[in-house]
Structures are given as C-alpha cells and as structure tokens.
Structure 1
Amino acid sequence: MKDGLIQVACVTPPLRVADCTYNAEQIVSAFQKAAADGAKLVVFPELCLTGYTCGDLFLQEALLNGAKISLSDILEQTKDISAILVVGLPYALEGALYNCAAVCYAGKLLGLVPKKNLPNYSEFYEMRHFAKGPDANGTLSVTWHQNAEVYVVPFGALQVFSCAELPDFSFGVEICEDVWVGDTPSVAMAKSGATIIVNLSCSDEIIGKENYRRTILQAKSGSLLCAYLYADAGVGESTQDMVFAGHNLILENGSILAESKLFTQGILTAVVDVQRLAGERRRSNTFLSEPMNTVQKTTFSMALTETAMNRYIDSTPFIPHGSQMLSQRCEKILMLQATGLATRLKHIGCKSAVVGLSGGLDSTLALIVMVHAFQLCHLDPAGIVAVTMPCFGTTDRTYQNACRLAEAYGATLREIPIQDSVRQHFADIGHKESVHDVTYENSQARERTQVLMDLANQTGGIVIGTGDLSELALGWATYNGDHMSMYAVNASIPKTLVRYLVSYEASQTPQELSNILQDVLDTPVSPELLPPEQDGTIAQKTEDIVGPYELHDFFLYYVLRFGFAPHKIYRMAKHAFEGAYDDAVILKWLRKFYWRFFSQQFKRSCLPDGPKVGSVTLSPRGDWRMPSDACVALWQKDLENLD
C-alpha cells in the first residue's frame, strides 16, 4: 500500500446454486489465499453467496436467512485479516428485496450497496424479485446483529469507502448492469473521490459479448481515470438457460492490467497505483471532483504495508512496444513535427530554413523533419541550408556524415569552419585556448548559433532548433547557444525516442541513405566541444557526464507525467532496470536529475516555439510552468531518506 500501490483481486469461486454454506466456505478460502498473497481489496461476483440463477427461490425465507447467516460466518472467519472483502447476496429491507454487495473489513460490515439498475429483458428478469436500490443520502442504514453486538451500517447505491491512512485508496461499488447503462453510478463515486470502482457481476456469455465487455470497461476506466475491478460469475451457476464464463478483468485508466481466460475460475490479481490515478485527475482540467450530497462516505483504518512490485514497469515509457505500433507511432510523430514546421513556414511565407548539421542524432532528426516539412509545402529541398561548422572537437566521422546527409537529402550544404572566429573571441575576452573549461565549450556553441542566425537573415529563412526534450530537462544546452532557435522541432522528443525516429527513417529510405543514418545511430552522443582522442575518435561523451539517457527519460516521465515522489520513482526504477543498473547507480543519477532539473529551469523559461507531440513536454507556455528559482530541498530530502 505504500506509494499508493494496492494489490487487488477478482475471484470466481466454485459455487453451488442455493447452497449458502458451501458458497461461504469457498469465499472464505479464496479470500484467505488472496489476502495471504498480499491482496488488500478482494471482489467476488454478484449474488455469489446464493448464486445468481436462483430464480423464484429468492422469494424463499430459507434462502434469504441462509445468506445472512453465511455473511455473519464470513465476517467471523475473516476478522483477523486486514483486507477488504466485497461479496454479493440478496438482502431484504423494509418490505423489499435488494441485490446487494456487502463490503466487509476485519470482521465488520462497512456497508451494503444495492444494485441501482435492474435488467428486465431477455434472460434477465431481476425486477420480478428485486427492487431498485435507492441512492444513499446519509439517512438510509441497516442495523446489523453479530455475536450480541449491534451496529448501524449505511445502505444505498451511492457509497464510497476510503482508507484513513491512504485517502487515495478509495473505492465505490457497482453491480453488473450498473456499468452497462449510460449514467453509471460510478460517475458520482469517482467525482466523490473513488479511485477504484469494483463491479460484482453475473454476465452470461454469448458470442461477441467478451469483446464488448472489455471495450465498455476500458472506456469506463479511462473516462473516469480510475481502476476498475470486474468480478464475474463462472461455471458454477445454473446452465438451464445460460452459460457463465468467469470473465474477470482488472483495468487502470483504460489499460488492462490482468484478464482471466473464459470458462475458468480462481483468483485474478494485479497491482493498481492509486497515486498515479490521483495524479492523472489533478492534471486533468476536465475531471472535476465534486462533493456529492447523495454519496455516503465511510472511512476505514488499514495499516500501510509494503506491496510487492508485481506490476510491469516499462523502462522506456516513451517508446511503444511491438514493431507495428512503433512504426505507426514514429510515422505520426514525424508527421506532427513536420506539420508544425510546415505551418510556420507557410504562415511567414518562408521558403528557406537553416540548420546546424553536426552529424549527430538530434541534428539528423531535425534535418529529417525539415525534409518532410518541405515536401508538405511543395518546396525545393535545396531551400534547406545545412551548415557544418567544424571546430576544435569535430571528428572526421561526424563531419563526413553531416556532408553525406545533406547531399543525400538534396539540401544545400554550407561548410563554415569557426576555429578562427572562436580564437579571435578568446583573444577579445582574454581566455586561453589551452583552458578547456565551460567558457571554452560555450564560446563554440554560441559562435555556431550566431552563424546560423546570420545565415537565416541572408537567405530569408529561419533557424531550426535541434535540441531535444531530455537535454531541456537536464539543462544540457548552452544558454543562447544551441538553446536558442526560431523553431525547435525536437523540443518535445526525448533522447530515447530520437533514436527510434531516426531508425524508423532509416528503414524507409534507400540503402545508401539508410547506411548513413545507421552510422549516425552508432555514433556516441556528444556535443563535440572538446578536442578528440589521439586516434580521432570522440573524447567528450555526454552520457559519461550527465548519465544514461534511458534513466533520465524514465525519471522525466514519472516526474512530469504523474508527479511521483523521488523515493517512489527510485523504487520503480530499481524494478524496471533490474539487472541493467545497480541501486547505487540509479540513485546517483536520480539525484543528479533533480539537481539539474531544478537548477536549469531558467533555460526552459524562454524556449522558442516547437510542436508538442506527447503528454510530457516542457514548454513554458502551458505544459510546464515552474519558477526558475524554485528550491529542490524537499526532493533532495526525500532522496536522503533512502540512504
């Protein structure tokens, strides 16, 4: 439960129709096993204490009393288990019979939730036996008798149950048909704070229903930004007219975390992240939490224990998986980048664009985007001015690749060596060329930017920025050097994704060009601002200085997308990169990430325009608004506690 991670379970137990004693035994046995495995919320199917297919037996006093007695037995046998159990039964109250869910915890009944929407078609005739459940409004309740103890529990279709120690662990209950209607009870529950919706169901299986059920639940969990636990009745129900398949699903914000095979029974488990869901809701300006007067709220106390990380954590969250999905994503991203640039070129009537082409990954991607944008604008690619500016750190490999790329794409290549200009600048400011400090490096970066800006003036064009999202996050850019441009096409592309985009372009081009792009991909990432090694190879490797980009992109995603605390991101990273990096390395670079992210915000506060392609971006005009002088102390303190 710590860090908002809750292990949950949906159970389809063995069942005998109308045998409450047997059914209760199976429910207790499955609940004990699920709880022993770490589940804190365990959901059983609709009316599973009696069976859903009892028909007119629901009007028999013996069956109704048997269900109440069996529920009391369940409460007694689970009183020492710190986990929530939600189980279905029929319950008679004030002359009416209701299809209910009993919410149980540590031997106590927390509430009874009646089904609100009753089907009355085809094979389902619930209105023959059951009454529509009323909304809870704080006045409806049930007096529960248990072992000479009497207490009052809420009764109503709209209830939310919340953990005092972890308020984000808050859930509401629907029963089967409730999720199939347009105005589902879960809407009010979610707006009242429920991050989890559980559904006790007995849905018969017919051709096509499996896919429809899955689609409905994905849409519901996505629109409500919630986790959804769907516990379905199985083969123990009567097959007189219907067959039930036990199709259990656990979903989170539109994604399926776990799904049972049809015609099976047993326990389906997954770990949901309620902090992630709460973070999504805070980010969304369309999800408005509202206090609902009709929703009854019940609080329970549960100790926060460590939840095993039985959850897939993607080590490359910016990269889609599967070759087809990756190709589709790359194609769309390139189109978004190119369309943004094309729109800008058309708006200002520009037929020329200038880019500093280093032979590295980022400038290669920028050139690719420019080529696509010129195609969209029906412009001659010769209007692309690709400028190579050799200086002290330029290697022959990157220089040759820059020249070959410009030629292959039909761009106009300009070679402007800047060594003499930089040396003159050193003389002007009194800097020794032998001192390879930040002034030595940044003087080259700023000279290159000046050249590009002036060439853009000469050609009537604009300068296209090459810096990527990962560099912006780390502040790995020279202020008013490569930090500045007139349109930054890579501004929302993280470094790990840059590589895939260039690789995708390589797969779509003729072999000769593909070979050049592949060599760019194989070249170490470097700003090439320090002299090369004696053998002519790159000496200044970025990831040796700032750390692995795959780690930083992972950190960036969870810092910006969900606002997770540093200790949680560290825990997730250990799981995602197990076997790739040891714990000390991950912690080292996470600390470095936070320090750089906070200290370098001033560079992001004045970024040029650039197209947004994903949900994580750092534009100061709406996507990420942070004061340049914000203090990192709280985040550092959180990491200190990990020592």
Structure 2
Amino acid sequence: MGRKVTLSTCSLNQWSLDFDGNLERITRSIEIAKSHGAKYRLGSELEICGFGCADHFFESDTLLHSFQVLRKLLESPLTEDIICDVGMPIMHHNVRYNCRVLFLNRKILLIRPKLMMANTGNYRELRWFAPWKQSGYVEEYFLPKMIQEVTGQDVVPIGDCVLSTKDTCLGSEMCQELWSPCSPHIHMGQDGVEIFTNASASHHELRKADQRVHLIQSATTKSGGIYLYSNHRGCDGERVYYDGCSLVAINGDVVAQGSQFSLNDVEVVTATLDLEDVRSYRGELCQPQTGNQVKSLPRIKVDFSLSSYDDVYLPTHRPIEWSFHSAPEEISLGPACWLWDYLRRSGQAGFLLPLSGGVDSSSTACIVYSMCVLLCQAVENGNSRILEDVRAVVSDGSYVPEDPKELCSRLLTTCYMSSENSSESTRSRAKQLANQIGSTHLSFNIDMAVKGILGIFSLVTGRRPQFRVNGGSHRENLALQNVQARVRMLLAYLFAQLSLWGRGQSGGLLVLGSANVDESLTGYFTKYDCSSADINPIGGISKNDLKDFLLYCVERFQLTALRSILEAPPTAELEPLSDGQVSQTDEADMGMTYSELSVIGRLRKISRCGPFSMFCKLIHMWKEAVSPSEVAQKVKHFFRMYSMNRHKMTTVTPSYHAESYSPDDNRFDLRPFLYNVGWGWQFRSIDQQVQQMSTSQPAEDRPRPQ
C-alpha cells in the first residue's frame, strides 16, 4: 500500500572539533538506523563539528574540516538508500549559517539554514551565525570542489523549503525554532507537510525536559503530523550538559523515547508510523477556510519513497507514557554523566575532593559515586567503549569494574583538612561517608601551614591578627578565615598532582569544587579557596535541591551517613569553636536562609528584578512571615553582598549549569562586576515605599507602642 514510514532520530555524544570521533559516531548511527529499516536518519544540531565550537566557528579550518567529513559521509556505502540529515556550518555569500545538509545516494538534496537564532542565556548564536534571509526563500549554493567531485553537482538549493518524496512531504526546523511563537512547523503543517524534523542542541536544566516534550506534543496536537526530535548528548567541552531525550511523536502522542541521561555515545530511536493516521487526523483540521490562505513553501522533488509498497503487515508504534525524572534523579544522573565526559576526555586519572562533612561537598562525593554506579551498569550491559575508557583512566588494560564502591576507590580521593577550628563531628561525618562510597580518604591538619603564613605576616608587620572572639576587628576575623580556606586550596592541588605519585601510580587528579549556586549569588565563599577547582558539578544547583538529592541518595544508594550530614547546620568552621562546638553557621553569616536566597536568585535573574521591584514582589510573597521593613532589610542586605562580591564570579570554577538563575559571569549572566554598593537611589525608593506603607496602614493594623 505504501503508507507506512520507518524513521530514525538519534542522540550522539559529539565533542567540539573532534572530527574523527564525530564522524565515527555519525556513521555508526546511520548503520544502526539502516539496520532497523529506516529510510530517513536525523542527527543533532551542528553534529559534524560539535555545537560548542564558539569562536572556532570564525576559523576557516572548522568549515574546511566539516566539508571533509561531509565528503566521507557522501562516499560511504552506508549512506546509500537512506536520506541522511546532518548538521554543520556553511558559508554562503561570505555569511556563516547554521545548517542542515540533507543528502541521498551521493546527491545533496537541500541545505536548510536556521531561521531563528538562540541568543539568550547560554547561547550566543548571533555572534557566529546569521539567520536565513526570510521564510520560503531559496537560492543556489555553489558547492566546494571537493563535494562536486563526489556528487557531480555544481549548485544545490539553500534556503527555507521542504522535501517532497513520492509518498509524503518532509520539512525541517531547528532547536530554537520549536520554542518560537511562530514556529516553522505551523506554516509547514498548513501547507501539507506531514513529517517535521528538529535537530537540536538543548541543554539540561532541572525540571526542563517536560517543557520540551510538551512543546512537541502540542505542535502535533494542533495540526497533526509526525515529529522527529534529535538532541545532542554530552558536555561537548562546555559547562552545559546536553541530555538527549530524542523522540518520535505523532498527532500529539509520543511513540518512541530515547533516554534523557546515558553514557552511551550513540543512541538511535526508530519508529514505524502510518501516514494515513496523519491524513485522517487532519481531515477536519486542514479544510480550507475563508481568509486563511497559506503561501506554499518551495518544494524539492525527490525520486525516493520513505515507505515500501507492500507494508500491510508492518507493525506501527503505539503511544507511550513519557517517564520524567524527579529533580533528585536529574542531579544524580546529569552531573554524573558530565563528570565522566570531562574525566575521560581530560586524560586525568580521577578526582580529588576536599570533603568537609557538609551538604555541599557530600553532594559532590555522591555525584561521583553515582557516576561509578552508572559505569558499572554500562560495563555489565556490555558497553565495550565504556570499559575501554575506564581502563584508560585507571591505567589498567585488564581491569573490569564490577563494584561501584571499588571503582570509586580508584577514581575518587577525598581529603578532610582540619584546623583548630574544626569539630570532631564534621571529621567523623566525612570519614563515615568516604567509607560508605569507597573513596580513598585522607585526613590531615593544616594548622602548621596556617601558622607559618601568619608568622611571615607578623615578622614583616610586627602585628598579629586576632579572631573576633579574642578581641579582633571584623577585618582581622575575615582575614584569618580566608587564610585557612586558601591554604586548603593549595593543599588540594598539591595532593591532586602528587597523591597518585605518592602511591606509586601514574597520572594526576582533577580537583572538584563544591560551592552551590546560592553561595555564588552572594559571594559567600573565599576567592581562591577550596571552592576554586578544576570543575564543580554542583555550582548550578541550589542548597534546597542538594538536600533533596542527599535524601534520595540515602534511599537509592543506602548511604546512611548522609542522615547526620543533613541534620547538621551548614558551617564553614573557620572561626574558633565554643566549648568544642561549632559557633559559626552559614545562614547566620549570610544574614538569610538558603530558601530565601533561592527565591531572591530567581527574582534577580529570571524575573529581572532590581532592588525596588524585588522588594515590591517580596512584600506580597513573604507577607505572612515578614514585615515590609524586614523585607526591605533583607533585599538591601542581599544587594550589598551581591555587589560587593560580584567580582568573585570572574574567577568562579566552571560549573555544571543546572539552574536558570545561575550567576555565572560573562557566560550565562552578563552583569557588571563593579558596582556602587550603596545603591543610593534604589534603596531610598525602597525606604520611601516602606514609609508610605506604614503611614497608609489602617490605624487598627498599626503596631501598638509597648
């Protein structure tokens, strides 16, 4: 009958400028798609060169090598009798475009440039690419000689048009275009296009996957059709992690789903669908209506069928229920996959983590342990590439990881760096957690190094600073805390470089940081202390989410040591103890709770609030618990701390991006780092509003004098 089509989409772990590896993964995905009977294969955005090339897109080498990879794909017998849709940069009339290249049997059918650029948050596409000139516009593109030699074509169409095969019509949109209020699939659907494809590089954020899936379901619910979505996977050399989630949907239903987080470099999702289901669904929706004339898109006719003539016995895929991960599961999986990508590609032999026994460093340790669990599962499932990479990291060609705890002992070194201000309880909690996850644990005292540095200062100045409890000033107290924190950073890097050498093993370790996103907002950490590291898997995650994650780890991994860690108040332990007990807490130092900080962070970044508008929102959000004058005090305190410490963001450790209110400087959050910390006009506006509210308050509601 010729009405059922088999289509494949994929998630590939591509790496910027890794043309050999990228070609191998693309080729493997085509091979898998063909083995499943697919006649069309969709890959992710800019998959040939990698999405995260950034300013390498300006280099002619990137364009040249992309075309060289395209030539190898065109020449490969694997690409015969299947429409291949790959992503790469193309320069046309001296303008650079982010493009899809669709080809079949050594002929390029179409080059489709991106119409709408992603240019907010983590994305700067307009820096490197131009949007295509206009909807429905097509020109001729003169192929480079190396491609002409293979295809025999001098020119091919470039622009916004669709492919018309013998049995259906197929149109492309790319990543950001799905999120646009005027997405191309709307016009294409009205013009009779039955199969929509989307090549994407959409990064992971906590609780974001459902938005993506619902957009695709909505797209095909409104006008019917088949939707193929391909998303990039892996870290690609950046702070963001691309989480896959490739899928196939029809008429509002998801029928095939790829994994959101996976260590597999290549995942292909294939579905067989009936075109008549689309046509029946559209029977009423697409009847011509007066005044609703649609301008037809240019069509490229292709002498090829996506369906087979005799397909009556070919089963079609049925709707499935999408399984979304909870936020703690996302924290367990996303940063773990990101860490593994970074470790195996860095050439290092593992991680070193300063483990304080608090929520933040314990969360980082648990993410590494989760990574080890994923690696052992992958090897058990027969993933030979993972086994090869693990053996390379541990420098043991015969090693087979079977137990996550044993693997963690090889990949993670934790160290508790105590001082005279450290409590026995934090030391015990750190040791207990290290024992349960299996990390190689070190414990040593830093007082000798701290006293040596302070001795140099005293020798030069003739003065010795004192803690506040011993009569010292605020400046002295802060300096004494900072010197302890910075000594820990120096020792962390020393042990990262030489601890394996000390054990007679080869290689060095990557230092892991563990400052959460809320502390970064206020700058509640010492510049160049042990929060300064090579990478930080929790730098984009809130304290509240980290606590939920640790509760999840108690149940998921049976890490009972985390219970006492969760019960303890967060503390830096940089001031003297009181009767052997901690007297300093993070929330007291910051002047607000972590829960309050999360709300303030979202208002600052996501709602784009300055001091006055933040105050106006919070007096309603917090009216049950906090008075307007107290709200004003908290807002002003936050902005003073934020502006005083904003400079710290210029040196913050590269962190896994997981929250849309991350303060990551000049990467995600483009705000200054030098402020007038007085905020004179803004704070006066708040004070005037508080005064106005107090005088306009009904007499019976005003506070009575005591």
TM-score, length-scaled by structure 2: 0.44
TM-score, length-scaled by structure 1: 0.48
Rg larger in structure: 1
